[in-house]
Amino acid sequence: MKSLSSLRIVEIGDKAYIKNAFPEQTSHFSTAFVPNEENPAAGLRAFGVTSIIPLWHLLREADLIVCHPTFHSPWHWRWLSRALFDRRTLRGQLPIIRAFGPQMLRFPTRAPVAVIDTEDLPLINRNNFFLLDRCKLYFKRELPTDYWRLFMKTGHPQLPTPRFRSLAKYQRRLKKIRPISIGVPMSGQNLLPSAPLPKTVDVFFAGIVKGSSTVREKGFAELVALRNNGITIDIPDRFLQPAEFYERCARAWLVWSPEGLGWDCFRHYEASACGSVPVINRQNIERHKPLRHGEHAIYYDVEDNGLTAAIHWGLADKERLRAMADAGKNHVLVHHSAQAGADYVVRTTVENENS
């Protein structure tokens, strides 16, 4: 097996996930509606008419291909309407073309294909079934504990039935599924506190409540009640820039990290990386290298004022919290940095190809 540092990698998608971790050996073709500035000499291109031939040649030479699925197919009316009425189209730049990037993988390639799906959806859209069939492994962030639910309302009109679950085609598809975490964002890793900060508050929370999950609405009411009963709670009344957000995480014993549109969120890992202990409602997904209850984090049930009980339990033993914060920070930096996530995708796919 080739070493990871010698692999020639092609990445197609709206995120330069692998490119940031393996910059010298990865060529990235952006499918983002508004891509970053191109630099072909550095392996950064927007997918379009002029990049089809270079991409085709690189796909034939690659040792590994990584793709991020699009939310809609290129011919879906939502994508078409957005692109047709965009000012870039009027200038002749045709952003509609970029959605065709993953479609290049309908053609055979020598190299194995890995798909990274970090969307909030706990399912796989039908327009990405061809990638599921084409790939060696499909890494899914919001992965239901019952994998069959990935096909609810997409492969099956309702909850997949026993008959549907016996279909060989879908059983083959499920064998390719692997969990992946969203981890610490690439943009935030250099902003994390370099040293522990003194604890000045009991609990910190910054996030959208209205228009987000009901878990947040219920839990927020509990936070307000706790604050009224003497618990020191930091709830900003404005949007925080990342550096300030991280500093306030670091100064709190606990960071409330409820699910939002998806269960797995940046805050889980950011809180630990800052040296705090995240307090999280219990998961409904399968996780990769999870934060463990009582070791790295505190998990709570949403019923019967579970958040209140969890916060009281955590604050009752500050030395235990210090040990959990230290263990959680080490765990996140080892397993949930952007580099660690990319290593996991590349290594697991290559090893699976050679097994």
pLDDT band at 341 (very low <50, low <70, confident <90, very high): very high
Paired strand residues for 234: 204
Q: Which residues have CB under 8 Å from 138's CB, separation 6+?
A: 114, 115, 117, 124, 131, 132, 176, 177, 178
Residues 259 and 300 in one domain: yes
Other CB atoms within 10 Å distance of the CB of residue 229: 8
Three-state secondary structure of 209-272? CCCCCHHHHHHHHHHHHHHHCCCCEECCCCCCCHHHHHHHHHCEEEEECCCCCCCCCHHHHHHH
Residues 217 and 243 in one domain: yes
In the 8-state DSSP scheme, what is residue 14? Answer: S
Rounded to 5 degrees, what are φ and ψ at 139? -95, 120
Per the CB < 8 A criterion, the answer to whether 204 and 251 are in contact is yes
When pLDDT is averaged across residues 1-21 and rounded to a whole number, the result is 90
- For 13-26, what is each residue's pLDDT tens digit? 999 999 999 999 99
Residues 242 and 280 in one domain: yes
Residues 323 and 344 in one domain: no
Other CB atoms within 10 Å distance of the CB of residue 19: 24
When pLDDT is averaged across residues 235-246 and rounded to a whole number, the result is 94
Q: How many domains does the chain have?
A: 2
In the 8-state DSSP scheme, what is residue 30? Answer: E
352 or 2, which is more confident = 352
Residues 323 and 347 in one domain: no
- Count Cβ atoms within 10 A of the Cβ of residue 179 and give its class: 0-12 exposed, 13-18 middle, 19 or more buried: middle
Residues 194 and 322 in one domain: yes
Residues 166 and 200 in one domain: no
When pLDDT is averaged across residues 202-213 and rounded to a whole number, the result is 95
In the 8-state DSSP scheme, what is residue 150? Answer: G
Task: Give the separation between CA 255 and CA 201, rounded to whole angstroms.
Answer: 10
Residues 118 and 196 in one domain: no
| DSSP notation for 290-334 | PPPBTTTBEEE-SSTTHHHHHHHHHHT-HHHHHHHHHHHHHHHHH
| Pairing status of strand 233-234 against strand 201-204 | parallel
Residue 55 belongs to domain spanning: 4-183+338-354
The predicted pLDDT at position 11 comes to 98
**In what helix (H) or strand (E) does residue 88 lie, and over which residues does it extend?**
helix 87-90
pTM, entire model: 0.93
The predicted pLDDT at position 92 comes to 43
Which CATH number covers residue 146?
A: 3.40.50
Query: What CA–CA distances, in Å, run from 333 to 70, 147, 214, 234, 269?
Result: 29, 28, 30, 25, 9
Query: What CA–CA distances, in Å, run from 253 to 279, 311, 319?
Result: 10, 10, 11
Which CATH number covers residue 208?
A: 3.40.50.2000
Amino acid present at 169:
K
Residues 169 and 196 in one domain: no
Residues 280 and 190 in one domain: yes
pLDDT at 163 over 70: yes
In angstroms, the first-to-last Cα distance of the chain is: 10
Residue-wise burial string across 89-122, b where 16 or more C-beta atoms lie within 10 A, e elsewhere: eeeeeebbbbbbbbebbeeebebbbbbbbbbeeb
Task: Give the separation between CA 26 and CA 346, rounded to whole angstroms.
Answer: 12
Residues 31 and 164 in one domain: yes
Residues 69 and 194 in one domain: no
The region of weakest confidence among 30-39, 105-114, 278-287, 303-312 is: 30-39
The region of weakest confidence among 47-51, 84-88, 215-219 is: 84-88
pLDDT at 91 over 50: no
